[in-house]
Structure 1
Amino acid sequence: MAGFADFLGPILEMMTWVGFVPGVPLLVWAWVIARRRCQWVTADGEQFAAGGFLGLRWVDLEHEERKVLLDIAATEGGTATGSVVVHYDACHPSRCSLEPPRYDHTVLILGWILTGVGILSTLGGLVLVAL
């Protein structure tokens, strides 16, 4: 058993450092990103054609009318004008979309995985010392 502990001990200690050192800062970074992110709001809007492009028109939370031209030519799909649901950034209303926003949680997931590896390696090292 002593040979096994001599072999596994340094590996667990290294994995503890490999997990905690990048994992905890990644969790802090993900928390900062989540706190700085503005809320996206939905509004009833209207889709219109303007100069060969599609545009969106809606009224935001401050009751101001907003108009934005999309990067889609009117000849491509979605040429129908009419009412649509507009999703827009409350801090920057010019950032809008017809689809709900999808957030990227890569930093949070990677932080949880690395921190979990660090916690499991620490617990494994403690169990190894107790044996």
Structure 2
Amino acid sequence: MSELPQPPVADAVITELVVCTTCRPEGDSREAPAAGATLFEAVQHAQFDLPAEALRRVRVRGQACMSACGRACTLALQAPGKPSYLFGDLQPDAATARDALRCAAMHAEAADGQLLRNQRPERLRNGILAKLPPHGAQATG
């Protein structure tokens, strides 16, 4: 008798940290690199500054235009079965990059994906643009 396939374990769920690579705050020169591209590069570099174990369930990717142009720079956190978060008005620097990775790791580690404001890293305590329920979640109240 063969065993039935088992559903994936929660440990296999990966949180994606998606950074808008085309974000450009209003008034920024089109001749200079986009602030979003600068933030994406900072996030990529910051991955080497944090312990690999903390980021074992985080994947980083860039995305051209996340349609939050009036709130540049933006990034999102998403994972199957968890709420998705969209943050804006972020600084494209190393401190934001480290906090974004720490927040993504928190999202990955939280079974329900909830990110309480006072527990998020400092640079992601403000600037939340949206919190979307998990795909297919039952409506409440």
TM-score by length of 1: 0.25
Q: Rg bigger for which structure?
A: 1
Relative to total residues, which structure has the larger helix share, 1 or 2?
A: 1
Q: Which has the higher contact order (CA 8 A, sep 6+)?
A: 1
Structure holding more strand per residue: 1
Normalized against structure 2, the TM-score is what? 0.24
